[in-house]
Amino acid sequence: MYTGLKGKHLIYEQDWEKEEIEALLDMALDLKKMRALKQSHKYLDTRTLFLLFFEESTRTRNAFETGITQLGGHANYLIPKLTQIDHGEGPKDTVEVLSRYGEGIGIRNTTWGVGNRYMRELAKYSRIPVINLQCDLFHPTQSLADLLTLKEKLGDLRGKKFVMSWTYAPKYVRPISMPQSLITLMPRFGLDVTLAHPPEFFLMPEIVEQARENARKAGSRFEIVHDMDEAFQDADVIYAKSWGALAYTQDEPTILQLIEKYPGWKVTEQGMQLTKEDSRYMHCMPIDRGIEVENAVADGSHSVIYDEAENRLHIAKAIMALTME
């Protein structure tokens, strides 16, 4: 197992070798056991992690804040308004300075066309690991926790059918980062991925191509369908959430109108009957209950949403323990 990950950035799962991800999952399970046994695991005593959030968060922020505390370190929660970023200080100056104070920096910035580029720019100048806490393109700390959850629940993942489905959800446009992370990561670990969405809600062609290529190399499958029932047939895993329409990234009203064409894209008990008897329902949360999914499914026997959310903590700790000096 390769464990030489000190100083490595985590911006896109694809930047990590499969062996490195396996090491991360192993570490997460070790840390999970230690926490259950109340064994001290202060591997980051006196270290500081900066958490720079351009948007709101419940799970990600708290997984990293409580995680670094359990590892013996400390988190500094930052928002642009309380830093000189709000006055225009750029990524180079921000990270050159923070690199001299602390040992890691996590960032959430999901602004389309900005978030990933900002993180890559920070990483270029950073002497401490940069961790993507969700950008416009990817959400690796969530997808890796999801992979851990799937390994715990299903054991051998090879040949299992993983459905990444779009759902209806009104009011605001959700990022495409979650489906893009999941469709590229899961085929590498043997899952057969079915991506399901209405035609207008396609993902970035180069990311879809990467997912296909990952599947080809791993001997798994990747397909796209435009019908929810077709996708759900004999599925082992249903991961269903809303996302925006790429063709209109600068035009939110048009996307919201498009979303209104597809209120039937909802996870229902009836739909879950098409899946395998012991299939799992997953969602990264927050969920639009009653809209994206019936409460009976979110709270029912297929659902693993809270185990999935818990694993955010264990993966966050593993990322920090392995990458921070």
Which of residues 138 and 222 has its CB atom nearest to ligand CP in the complex? 138
User: Residue 80's Cα: distance from chain center in Å?
Assistant: 22
* Shortest spacing between CB 101 and ligand CP, in angstroms: 24
Residues forming beta bridges with residue 240, ordered by sequence position: 165
Residue range at the interface with ligand CP (CB under 6 A); choices 56-64, 124-132, 270-278, 288-296 = 56-64
Task: Give whichever of 68 and 258 is closer to ligand CP, judged by the CB atom.
Answer: 68
Size of the site for ligand CP (CB under 6 A): 8
Can you state the percent helix, strand and coil of the chain, rounding each to 5? 45, 15, 40
- Contact region for ligand CP (CB under 6 A) — 23-31, 52-60, 97-105, 288-296? 52-60
Separation in Å, CA 66 to CA 49, 76, 109, 249, 251: 11, 12, 21, 34, 37
Cα–Cα distance, 323 to 71 (Å, whole number): 13
225 bridge partner residues: 196
| Planar angle of CA 245, 10, 88, nearest 5 degrees | 70
Nearer to ligand CP, 132 or 323 (CB): 132
- CB closer to ligand CP, 109 vs 134: 134
CB-wise, 118 or 222, nearer to ligand CP? 118
- Least Å distance between CB 241 and ligand CP? 10
CA 131, chain centre distance (Å):
12
Select 9 or 59, whichever has its Cβ closest to ligand CP: 59
Q: Which residue has the tokens 């809600």?
A: 201
Measured CA to CA, the distance from residue 103 to residue 89 in angstroms comes to 21
Q: How far is the CB of 312 from ligand CP (least distance, A)?
A: 7
The answer to whether 284 contacts ligand CP (rule: CB under 6 A) is yes
Chain positions 130 to 149 lying near ligand CP, rule: CB under 6 A, are 134, 142
State the nearest-atom distance from the C-beta of 108 to ligand CP, in Å: 8
- Please identify, using beta-carbon distances, which residue of 218 and 285 lies nearer to ligand CP: 285
- Cβ of residue 234: shortest distance to ligand CP, in angstroms? 27
| Residue 10 DSSP code | B
SS3 of residue 207 by DSSP = helix
The stretch among 1-9, 51-59, 82-90, 157-165 that binds ligand CP (CB under 6 A) is: 51-59
Would you say 58 or 270 has its CB closer to ligand CP? 58
- 282 touching ligand CP, by CB under 6 A: no
Residue 57 in contact with ligand CP, rule: CB under 6 A = yes
Give, as ranges, the residues between 180 and 239 that touch ligand CP (CB under 6 A): none
Distance CA 193, CA 224 (A): 9
Neighbours of 39 (CB within 10 A): 9
Q: Does the protein bind ligand CP through residue 59 (CB under 6 A)?
A: yes
What are the C-alpha distances in Å from 45 to residues 29, 69, 315?
20, 9, 18
Q: Helices 59-70 and 305-323, interaxial angle, to 10°?
A: 50
Q: Which residues bind ligand CP (CB under 6 A)?
A: 57-60, 134, 142, 284-285
